[in-house]
A and B are shown apart, each in its own frame.
Chain A
Amino acid sequence: MSTTPLKKVFADTTGKTNHYDEYKIDRNDNPIVMNLFPGTTGQSAVSDVIIDSSKKGSNIQGAISNFTLGTGNTLLNRYLEVYTIITDVSTVTNLTSLDFSLTGGSMPYRYKMERTVQEQGDSAAYKITIFFTDFS
């Protein structure tokens, strides 16, 4: 399979599409809830949600609202990986974005990324990795 050099492919694209961080949770039965809004308005998105290599949600279309990942006890020292493909369908803009948030831990967590794709119909692949810890 031939591959196109990265520099050429993303010559006119901008923005970060991957993120790694830790999220402080407590050892209790509080639910840890995720929200994910792929944008911008009118774009099409599909996501996979994985916890320690086990799929928790597969091929989820559009936004993910109030998705319970587990509790403080079950998620401690585990990894959350969220893969999202956003395709530019909107004729208004070539901008794609990802608005990710977590609640249920010590404090709410939010992270936003965006990328402008080169041409109408192009896709952007986003990846978020979160490590749940009780160490602060």
Chain B
Amino acid sequence: MKRISFIVAILAMLCLDLRAQLNVDTTITLDVLKSPVSPAFNMLGISTSAIERPSDLNSFRLSVQNATNNLTAIPNSYAFEVAPFLWGAKKYTLKDFDSGRYALLQSFTISAGFTHMGPEGQEDVDSLKTTKVAFGLKFSIIRPKWSATTRKAYGALIKAQEDLLQAYQVPNMYSDSLQYFKDLRVALARDTTLTREEKRVRRDELILELQRMEGLVDSIRQEGLPSSEPYQRAKAIAAAFPTERKGVFLDFTTGMVADFPDNRFDNSLINKAGAWLTGGYENGNRGITSMFIARYLYHPEVIFADPDGKVSAAHASTFDVGARFLLSTLNDKFTLSGEALYRSVIGNSVLDPSWRLVLSTEYEVAKNRKVTFSFGRNFDGAISKGQNLIAAVNFTAGFGGERKVR
């Protein structure tokens, strides 16, 4: 503790001289590399509100029927996003969402769509209409397990369900009746006075009687359940079930748009494409504490490495990588965070790859009083001069601020 106090004192003194040099941009800008929620639609220009998200095969069929006016017309645009592995006959119960085993299948999402319209402002001019088709994929390679909070809620829910299950089975007024029908049933099978056909008829009558009895007993059994304590307890937990995850994650997203310039399906060209690999550590409701993103884009809207527009974006391929981390210790009093970005245009000699690095630390001396230290290297021309190292120490007193990577 003495050592920390000493360091803090030194930093506080330094800040008087270096305050003027505080010009490191510590704004976290990794968001520019983030994969869009629906890459195929972003590239196609379809708004997210226009995307159909059917939850099963039947609703998908209805969605297509609606869009095509019962298969009689081709709409100007149609887009859908589906999770095909959640449609299958095999269901995933809540418990299965805590397992990494099913992460890929449960998170696997296919998105696709097409537009048949003219350029912006002339969407309905028939002679200018062209067809564009988009396709996207998204899935988790590694998915974190539930946090302790979610596990606790799940445990409480299961306990309430177990109590409800017990209440559902008691009183077991059914057992004696079942025994009676069982004796009848066995006696019928052994009866030698009846023909096989007569036995079948009698058996079917018994089954019908048992089905009626089953329905009656079950309705009596169910009557008290909704007002019972375990039912209400389960309801309260389930209605506000928190799904929070903690651990390492790795997600992959990709999307592409194909253009059919003369509206012939044998003449198409890849208009745009992109792939994102996102990984890091998710820390429950404290957000993501470390993250990296690798991004490949073909024909991007804006070239990240070329904000001045020196290179034509048409047929350009870019590769960008970014990483950031946040470490909090001493009860969140000491925070160390960092960010690195690399950007490049593949196969291009006009622009060299460039990178940016920012490191910053923060120590809370008292409430709303912090000593901060930042260190950075920028993308710009200063890099070539080799004098771009910026260091600053600053003392902040005021309302304070909490830096969390989200």
Contact = CB atoms under 8 A, between A and B. Distances in A.
A6 B227 CA distance: 11
A69 B218 CA distance: 23
Interface residues of A, number: 53
Interface string A88-115: 1100110001010000000000000000
B182 A79 contact: yes
A62 B90 CA distance: 12
Given A22-B207, A88-B238, A125 B164 contact: yes
A17 B217 CA distance: 12
A24 to B, nearest CB: 11
Main secondary structure of the interface of B (DSSP, over half): helix
B210 interface: yes
A21 B97 contact: no
**Residue from A119, A131, A133 having most chain B Cβ neighbours under 10 A:** A131
Contacts of A43: 93-94
A120 B207 contact: no
B235 A121 contact: yes
A85 interface: yes
Given A20-B207, A79-B178, A125-B225, A85 B91 contact: no
A9 B226 contact: yes
B224 A1 contact: yes
Interface in B200-234: 203, 207, 210-211, 213-215, 218-219, 221-228, 231, 234
B157 A87 contact: yes
Contacts of B235: 87, 119, 121-123
**Residue from A40, A41, A84 having most chain B Cβ neighbours under 10 A:** A41
Contact of A45 (B93, B225, B226): B93
B18 interface: no
Contacts of B94: 42-45, 62, 89
Given A59-B165, A85-B164, A135-B199, A38 B227 contact: no
Nearest to B97: A42
Contacts of A20: 207, 210-211, 213-214
B42 to A, nearest CB: 24
B161 A38 contact: no
A22 B209 CA distance: 13
A46 B238 CA distance: 14
A2 B234 CA distance: 19
A3 B157 contact: no
B93 A38 contact: yes
B158 interface: yes
A9 B235 CA distance: 14
Interface string A1-32: 11110100100000001111110000000000
Nearest to A131: B185
A41 B105 CA distance: 13
Nearest to B183: A77
B235 to A, nearest CB: 4
A95 B95 CA distance: 17
A63 interface: yes
Interface of A: 1-4, 6, 9, 17-22, 37-48, 53, 59, 61-63, 77, 79, 83-85, 87-89, 92-93, 97, 99, 119-123, 125, 127, 129, 131, 133-135
Given A99-B89, A123-B231, 13 more contacts: A3-B223, A4-B227, A17-B218, A21-B211, A42-B97, A53-B175, A59-B158, A83-B165, A89-B241, A99-B91, A120-B238, A121-B236, A125-B165
22 contacts: A1-B228, A4-B223, A4-B227, A18-B215, A18-B218, A41-B91, A42-B97, A44-B93, A48-B165, A59-B158, A62-B95, A63-B91, A84-B165, A85-B161, A87-B234, A89-B94, A89-B241, A99-B89, A120-B238, A121-B234, A121-B240, A123-B238
Interface of B: 55, 86, 89-97, 154, 157-158, 161-162, 164-165, 168-169, 172, 175, 178, 182, 185-186, 188-189, 199, 203, 207, 210-211, 213-215, 218-219, 221-228, 231, 234-241
